[in-house]
Chains A and B, each alone.
Chain A
Amino acid sequence: MATKTQTLNGKPTVTSLSKEEILRYSRHLIMPEVGMEGQLKLKNAKVLLIGTGGLGAPLGLYLAAAGVGKLGLVDFDVVDFTNLQRQVTFGTSDVGKHKSEAARSRLSNLNPDIEIQSFETQLTSANALELFKDFDIVVDGTDNFPTRYLVNDACILLGKPNVYGSIFRFEGQATVFGMPEGPCYRCLYPEPPPPGLVPSCAEGGVLGVLPGIVGSIQAMETIKLILGSGDGLVGRLLLFDALGMKFRELKLRKNPDCPMCGNNRTIHQLIDYYEFCGVRGEEAPAPDLQVPEVTPRELKARLDRGDDLYILDVREPHEYQICNIQGHLLPLGELPRRVHELDSSREIVAHCRSGKRSAEAVDFLRKAGFRKIHNLKGGILAWSDEVDPSVPKY
């Protein structure tokens, strides 16, 4: 068995590996860049993963396999079928289970010699500092702006490195924030984009392999931080274009005026990040976007009655191929230049997948003078739930 000794600060530090561990890590041990010294650094390292989804999958698998001694897994979510296309920690039998627990189970099977703690909770301003304090490195594998700013600020407050990775469709970014000499997330992006300006729902989706690649880069950077070797991504933003299969890198500078890590820091504690990002549920129409609505059941009743309604589907053509309710396809992005194709004298019901894009379409058309126009509340998802379950959800 591995022996433990006491260090000055009272935390147990492992100073040797068991016979089984030496065999398990032999491909590391025979590398001079890792060796016994490096492997012991890995075994004594404590890494917290925020998110066990697309990025968290390769992160968890590789860090556990590499022998990182303590892994924390923070996720409040539950595994569903749409996760399996890229979240390779999970199997079909995990659907319905809590992600943090399913991941803990998978990773402890991969490596029973490490300690894995699962935190089935949403990371918030109230719990972040408490959660982070027992770990050396935090890895950001989340999927939304509020949590990214929260992870950044908590890391800066506690002086912990933040291994950052982010993806969008075919594009990825990775870097290391929170090192004393390096920049933080706010140096790069002082503030988030307003909700709705960067396409999320309409242009969403991700190629399954992409988080695998970006998460693996994060895992590599984490291991290099632990080993203290190589050139890390501190001060460099790695951009990855999967379609063009191109890696580029940009210089990241520490912003002297950064409100979080600059010379005159103005942020001294965690804030309300949802308010900061202006997000209260990305898919809900913005509060100022009050448009006339019709529920799926009302629409069905009116169609059955033979009312003359023009169903306007503002999704993208590839979404129409997945499922449709025989609407006339006119993607939201093309609406401004194709508005003349619509007859404002007819009664129109606009819909999208969930009701957000069509609310924008209805708002736009009302401003363009259309009066007899409604938004299908909840979109085609609600139509599937309330009217026709044979319509697939996506």
Chain B
Amino acid sequence: MTGRTIRQNGLKFATARRFEFGYAETEKNMAVKVIIPTPLRVYAAKKDSAEVSAQTVGEALGGLTAQFAELRKHLFTDDGKLRSFVNVYLNDEDIRYMAKEATPVKDGDVVSIVPSIAGGNAAPPNRRAQE
């Protein structure tokens, strides 16, 4: 809860600053770690995380797909929207309950992609299908 309040305050502060300084103030990009889940690592050169520079969660994911182009279609629809079955967390909060992709990030934040996984048994899928 504390983290959330701080971020909300940060958001207010950022908004206020934007009003005050207008476009003259270029907001600083934040160093963010994006955790890549196992099922998607095959599209990300087998890496388990990536460091990106961003101001929002959306930018962080954009930075990730800029590094690993093959990831794009697994995260975004053709018109650039985050896919409905891909859950994204900023630290331990679901961004759906924050400002979604516009959620601002700060230095040291961790963005996690949490895809649905169904395994429990991991029998070869064709055998399951046959039975």
Contact = CB atoms under 8 A, between A and B. Distances in A.
Q: Is B truly associated with A?
A: yes
B87 A141 contact: no
A293 interface: no
B120 A82 contact: no
Interface in A220-253: 237, 239, 241, 243-244, 248-253
B131 interface: yes
Interface stretch (A19-27, A129-137, A167-175): A167-175
Contact of A145 (B87, B96, B97, B118): B118
B74 interface: yes
A250 B94 contact: yes
Given A166-B117, A171-B117, A143 B122 contact: yes
A390 B37 CA distance: 37
Interface stretch (B10-18, B19-27, B38-46, B53-61): B38-46
B87 A283 contact: no
A166 B94 contact: no
Nearest to A173: B117
Contacts of B115: 193, 198
Interface in A185-218: 188-193, 197-206, 211
Interface string A341-379: 000000000000110100000000000000000000000
B116 interface: yes
Interface stretch (A51-59, A66-74, A113-121): A51-59
A188 B87 contact: yes
Contacts of B130: 281
Given A77-B131, A199-B39, A253-B94, A206 B118 contact: no
Interface residues of B, number: 37
A283 B119 contact: no
A189 B89 CA distance: 13
Contacts of B94: 250-253
B113 to A, nearest CB: 11
A381 interface: yes
Nearest to A195: B125
B6 interface: no
A76 B116 contact: no
Nearest to A122: B131
Nearest to B112: A250
A interface bracket (residues with beta carbon within 8 Å of B): 35 or more
A306 B55 CA distance: 61
A205 B122 CA distance: 6
Contacts of A333: 42-43, 70
A46 interface: no
A15 interface: no
Contacts of B2: none
B107 interface: no
A168 B119 contact: yes
Interface in B87-131: 87, 89, 92-94, 96-97, 112, 114-131
A203 B126 contact: no
A198 to B, nearest CB: 5
Contact of A141 (B112, B120, B123, B124): B120
A290 interface: no
A336 B72 CA distance: 15
Contacts of B39: 168-169, 171, 198-199, 203
Contacts of A205: 122
Interface in A303-347: 333, 336
B107 to A, nearest CB: 20
Nearest to B97: A253
A80 to B, nearest CB: 8
A165 interface: yes
Contacts of B116: 145, 166, 188-189, 192-193, 198
Contacts of B123: 53, 77, 80, 82-83, 143
25 contacts: A56-B120, A77-B131, A141-B121, A143-B121, A145-B116, A148-B118, A168-B39, A191-B84, A192-B85, A193-B116, A198-B74, A198-B117, A199-B42, A201-B124, A206-B122, A241-B48, A250-B92, A251-B94, A252-B94, A281-B126, A281-B129, A281-B130, A283-B124, A353-B124, A354-B126
4 A-B pairs closest in CB distance: A281-B129, A53-B121, A283-B126, A143-B121
